[in-house]
Amino acid sequence: MRSIKSTGISNEKFAPWLRRELARALKLGLVLLVAGGAVIWGLTAASSSFEAGWTNFNYRLSGVALDQHPLALARTFASRLRESEYGWAPLSWGTPFNVTAEREALRRAYPEVTGVFDGVPQIPRGSRLRAANPALYEQRIAAYLQRYRQIEAGRFSSLYDRDDMFSAPNANVKLGLFVTKVFGLPDAFLFTFSTILAGGWPGIVLFGTVLGLTAMPLWRSRRPARTWLKLIAWPGLASALVWAAILIMAISAAAFGGLTPNTSALALLATLPLLSVIARLPLHLAETLVTPPAQWDGSDRRKPRPIVPPGPPPKPGETIPPWGGA
């Protein structure tokens, strides 16, 4: 992939740039703290419903910070891969290649079926259901078998259907099971993303804020220069910024929790300038560690240079002896 013609974070040296940006962030953060506190105080005094909603939002934001931090999301991603069986055929948009999730969905959609033995669905109350509505019964059984066969057709049966399930698989089977997890990467990513969305607006606000604060400086930065390197560095930089936001919210809760429990959202608002500086700090440091290329002096060195003999230039009418003697 080609390099991005980035403008860079700043041409200023790192130490003076950091001092100036920190001072600016503290001033702007103080302004946001005072203005946000005044607006929230006015709205909570004017409306009791807003006060209840604001308290609920802060409570859920604190819960997202505690339960959906980057380490918890990494564990969610890993557990989804570890606990699921994956096949080679895409089964659905929400859970691609996930055989375990599709089996659970099939069990919820057809609770009357307890399993399949030799291709025949096992239905304990089959006679009653058939007597109540024969057409609907046959239609549901046919739909169940069609979906069941579709799921089973895309499985790695030789890896998961072993004869001895109580002993550890051999090295070849372990390697094959590991390769099947490659098919589960999209499913694990979608499951982790849905976990963030399950937190509601607080989770969207927290992660949307850190992703937005890291995207712009990362795109502008000269280091890394490649687009694919920027995409790889983006989640790591956003994760570091989430930890910084969680630390700031924890400090604000410890310092001002005795006055009001609603400290998380206001602390996040007041520290947006500081979080922006933290996002740009490693990028600008990487830019200053790389020596910029020398500027072009205007001379074209691709053409042969004229040969100038040593010594003073000859006078008019004077001949120059050949170099090295006659």
Tell me what pLDDT residue 3 has. 45
Q: Is the CA virtual torsion 200, 74, 67, 238 positive or negative?
A: negative
Give, in order, the Cα–Cα distances in Å from 315 to each of 62, 156, 309. 89, 93, 14
- Angle at the Cα of 163 from the Cα atoms of 160 and 169, rounded to 5 degrees: 60
Domain chopping of the chain, boundaries = 14-68+199-289, 90-170
% of the chain with per-residue pLDDT over 90: 34
Strand partners, 116: 121
Tell me what pLDDT residue 280 has. 92
Assess whether pLDDT exceeds 60 at residue 4: no
Alpha-carbon span 72 to 112, nearest angstrom: 36
Assess whether pLDDT exceeds 70 at residue 5: no
* Residue 3 in tokens: 């390099």
Over residues 248-261, the mean pLDDT reads 80
Tell me what pLDDT residue 127 has. 83
| Token pair 């013609």 in the structure block, residue | 5
Q: Where are the alpha helices (DSSP H) in the chain?
A: 14-46, 48-67, 70-83, 99-109, 126-132, 134-153, 157-160, 171-183, 185-198, 201-220, 227-256, 264-270, 272-289
Assess whether pLDDT exceeds 50 at residue 162: yes
* Residue 92 in tokens: 């659905």
Tell me what pLDDT residue 307 has. 67
Asked, as a colleague might, if the bond just before 224 is cis with ω within 30 of 0, I would say yes
pLDDT in tens, 273-326: 999 999 999 988 888 887 666 676 666 667 666 666 666 777 777 776 666 555
Give, in order, the Cα–Cα distances in Å from 320 to each of 256, 306, 307. 91, 17, 14
Backbone angles phi, psi at 116, to 5 degrees: -130, 130
DSSP 115: E
Question: What is the Cα Rg of the chain in Å?
Answer: 33
DSSP 3: B
pLDDT in tens, 170-202: 778 788 888 889 999 999 999 999 998 888 888
Answer yes or no: pTM beyond 0.85.
no
Q: Which amino acid is at 119?
A: G
Tell me what pLDDT residue 2 has. 46
Choice between 86 and 165, residue whose per-residue pLDDT is larger: 86
Tell me what pLDDT residue 177 has. 85
Tell me what pLDDT residue 276 has. 93
Choice between 53 and 224, residue whose per-residue pLDDT is larger: 53
SS3 200: coil
